[in-house]
Structure 1
Amino acid sequence: MKASIGGIVIGDARDTDLISIEGNFYFPPSSLSADLFSDSPTPYHCPWKGDCQYHDVSIGGSTHHDAAWSYPDPHPASFERVGRDYSGYVAFDTAQVTLG
């Protein structure tokens, strides 16, 4: 599956490498164009996953605020619910990012 903004691919992973959590596809960090991502100051805490890190995505002079998010250090207890360790995996705001 590819994640793109305006036709520019920002993530590309095999379907078997994706993790589905609550209707969102999480991409492994190695599948991303990391140079396009920067940490956002937007705070969020999920009661069962832990502290979230939002990411801005910058392409061609435009910044897409909070276009992605991850859980760098999720609660270890959540791994059982998800089925595997998803630390650092990144999901996307589908209002800004096209998946397909």
Structure 2
Amino acid sequence: MAKATWNDVILAQSEQCEIVEGNYYFPPESINQEYFKPSQTHTTCGWKGIASYYTLAVNGAENKDAAWYYPQPKPKAENIKNYVAFWRGVKVES
């Protein structure tokens, strides 16, 4: 089971993660939505498409754009549609 934590809180936990380019992508239903705030940030990946971001808000602290997902991925990345990945200090263990 993979688990993502930050600031001593479990952000996501699942046995159904997809691993792409070394990143664990968690199914949308596995994230604890209360800690996720939509961000206006977007980036583009040549083969996955346009990524959207979340800022994490945990115990009064924020981690800007620390999670991302692809709401409308390109065909080769369809398996991670809406799945959430992490960086910027978020600890992911499997």
TM (norm. structure 1) is 0.85
- In 1, Cα distance between equivalents of 2:13 and 2:56: 15
Q: How far 1:7 moved relative to its partner? A: 1.7
- In 1, Cα distance between equivalents of 2:51 and 2:27: 16
% of aligned pairs identical? Answer: 35
> Superposition RMSD on alpha carbons, in Å?
1.2
Unpaired runs of at least 5, structure 2: none
1:23 matched residue in structure 2: 22
2:4 matched residue in structure 1: 3
Higher radius of gyration, 1 or 2: 1
Q: Residue deviations 1:26-56, cap 9 Å, x none?
A: 0000110012111112220111111100110
3-state secondary structure, aligned to 1:99: strand
TM (norm. structure 2) is 0.90
1:39 matched residue in structure 2: 38
**Equivalenced residues, count:** 92
2:13 matched residue in structure 1: 12
1:90 matched residue in structure 2: 84
Unpaired runs of at least 5, structure 1: none
Runs of 4+, deviation exceeding 4 Å: none
